[in-house]
Amino acid sequence: MKKLFTALFITIITSNTSLFTWGQIGHRVVGDIAQKYLDPIVLKKVNTLLEGRDLAMVSNWCDHIKSFKKHDHTFWWHFVNVEDGKRYSEVTHNKNGDIVEAIQRFSKQLANDKLSFQKRHEALKWLVHLLGDIHQPLHVGYAKDQGGNLISVKWFGKKSNLHAVWDEGIINHQELSYTELSKLINFTNVEQLKKLQNSDVNVWLNEGMKLRKRVYDLKSKELSYAYQAHNVEFLNSQLLKAGIRLAGLLNKVLK
């Protein structure tokens, strides 16, 4: 059984590198929005740590490295499985880590200026990526269907699965570049900004769990205009929240 489980996950890791992740556009939108809310002094530090790249540019690195075997152990850091009615503190924690543990770990590493440049450079790239992932409701998923990856659906007539619809389908159907999408959805006010940034990873996780009800509300397995229309604004608001909260976290950690 253990062998089967290991084999299954090796197959998953090697056969589909986009299994647990927003698509590229989603992650870039989160980075692009966050960049606009950085304190000037933090922006300078970010520029130094990323050697001039911006947050959008580095936001997909954590997915790209999945293609290399030496990074297989990072697979687990992109998500966590929590069943309905349970709290994060009550689940059996994966010894390889999970998204909550990884966000906390990389926040500490980024804050520690005694660590090497390379370590903090990578910690920053991980945070940009994982703040995006934790706002995708299926990254706080159910183990039984691997965060919606095992729920086969048709998306506008093509074979897909529920996870992919939320990673990419609804975003791509808007037919916007990442800069167009981030410009379109980036509006907030001071009060909302404070409220969003005054929260931590446990709040983000609990929000994700509550949102699953909406995600799994499938009238049929043939999804198209109605599912898109019902969820698009809601998904965009998750991207905005992720961007604003990423900026809040970096402003705190790098101040």
37 secondary structure, DSSP code: T
* E strand or H helix at 40: helix 40-49
Residue 235 CB-density burial (10 A; 0-12 exposed, 13-18 middle, 19+ buried): buried
Q: What is the closest distance, in whole angstroms, from the C-beta atom of residue 139 to Zn ion in the complex?
A: 7
Q: Which stretch binds Zn ion (CB under 5 A): 17-25, 37-45, 151-159, 167-175?
A: 17-25
Rg (CA), the chain: 18
Give backbone dihedrals phi and psi of 161, rounded to 5 degrees, phi first.
Answer: -145, 165
Residue that has been written with the tokens 């924690």 in this structure: 93
The closest residue (CB) to Zn ion is 21
Q: Which stretch binds Zn ion (CB under 5 A): 71-79, 83-91, 99-107, 146-154?
A: 71-79
Indicate the Cα dihedral angle 61, 7, 154, 26, nearest 10°. Answer: -10
- Whichever of 43 and 235 has its CB closer to Zn ion, that residue is 235
Q: Residue 21 interacts with Zn ion (CB under 5 A)?
A: yes
Q: What is the closest distance, in whole angstroms, from the C-beta atom of residue 123 to Zn ion in the complex?
A: 15
Q: Which of 32, 98, 122, 133 binds Zn ion (CB under 5 A)?
A: 133
Residue 151: left if φ>0, alpha if ψ -120 to 50, beta else—which one?
A: beta
Binding residues for Zn ion, rule CB under 5 A, total 3
Q: What is the closest distance, in whole angstroms, from the C-beta atom of residue 84 to Zn ion in the complex?
A: 23
Q: Residue 45 interacts with Zn ion (CB under 5 A)?
A: no
Q: Residue 146 interacts with Zn ion (CB under 5 A)?
A: no
Q: Residue 24 interacts with Zn ion (CB under 5 A)?
A: no
Q: Which stretch binds Zn ion (CB under 5 A): 1-9, 131-139, 169-177, 244-252?
A: 131-139
Strands (E), the chain: 80-81, 140-141, 152-155, 158-161, 222-223
- Whichever of 78 and 135 has its CB closer to Zn ion, that residue is 78
Residue that has been written with the tokens 């269907």 in this structure: 145
**Residue ranges in contact with Zn ion by CB under 5 A:** 21, 78, 133
